């Protein structure tokens, strides 16, 4: 539970209102540093309503994360088993689930600071190292997998203390589908039930 909490908080630290055009001219480490610093200013207002935070988070999420790529990875081998309508419904609900899970986590902010280290190349991606420094307790190591595509730099995964957010989600989704005889609709229904209160743009 503690690891999940920090995973959610760390994911939030990366989200900010940097425009895609400016991201194209940045190196990956600077991209992550700028996003982390701006996120604190954008989403730590404790006076904002839950609906307002969800709407802000959704806009920032879509501007800085490659949500479709993460969603397809999370569905794993079941992506190709799904028909086009199922794929469309799933991706929409996957985004809603991210908003539902992370939008209000900045209310848990308690003075943590964000420090970015260097970056290394892994295939077509850059992996940026960083730490969440807490007022109490040891720092949390966070790695950001960044990909440069047609829309500029986008985050495709976050790993906290070696635990990948995308891989963890993939395992959880597979377990839901397998418990229901390999039926992708079972996951879609579970996501729909879970995210009925998520604010839409």
For the chain, what are the domain ranges?
2-194
Residue 167 phi, psi (nearest 5): -70, -40
Distance between CA atoms of residues 96 and 136, nearest Å: 32
What is the longest distance spanned by two Cα atoms in the chain? 48
* Torsion angle defined by CA atoms of residues 5, 115, 43 and 24, in that order, rounded to the nearest 10 degrees: -120
Distance between CA atoms of residues 67 and 170, nearest Å: 14
Closest CA to 64 of 93, 98, 109: 98
Q: Which CATH class for the 2-194 domain?
A: alpha beta
Mean pLDDT, residues 122-130 taken together: 94
Q: Using an 8 Å Cβ cutoff, are 102 and 57 in contact?
A: yes
Whole-prediction pTM: 0.82
Closest CA to 36 of 9, 3, 70: 9
**C-alpha 164, offset from chain centre:** 11
Tokens of 36: 């982390």
Residue bearing the bigger pLDDT, 8 or 87: 87
- Greatest mean pLDDT among 27-41, 95-109, 137-151 lies in 137-151
- pLDDT single digits (tens) 131-154: 888 888 888 899 999 999 888 999
């Amino acid at each position: 539970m503690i690891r999940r909490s920090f995973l959610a908080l760390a994911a939030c630290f990366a989200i900010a209102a940097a425009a895609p055009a400016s991201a194209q001219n940045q190196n990956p480490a600077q991209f992550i540093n700028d996003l982390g610093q701006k996120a604190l200013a954008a989403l730590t207002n404790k006076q904002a309503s839950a609906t307002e935070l969800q709407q802000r988070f959704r806009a920032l999420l879509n501007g800085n994360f490659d949500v479709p790529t993460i969603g397809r990875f999370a569905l794993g081998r079941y992506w190709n088993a799904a028909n086009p309508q199922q794929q469309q419904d799933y991706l929409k609900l996957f985004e809603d689930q991210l908003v539902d899970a992370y939008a209000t986590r900045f209310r848990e902010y308690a003075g943590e600071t964000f420090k970015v280290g260097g970056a290394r190349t892994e295939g077509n991606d850059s992996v940026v190292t960083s730490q969440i420094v807490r007022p109490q307790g040891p720092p949390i190591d966070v790695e950001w997998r960044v990909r440069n595509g047609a829309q500029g730099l986008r985050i495709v995964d976050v790993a906290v203390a070696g635990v990948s957010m995308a891989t963890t989600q993939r395992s959880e989704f597979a377990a839901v589908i397998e418990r229901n005889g390999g039926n992708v609709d079972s996951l879609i229904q579970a996501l729909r039930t879970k995210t009925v209160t998520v604010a839409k743009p």
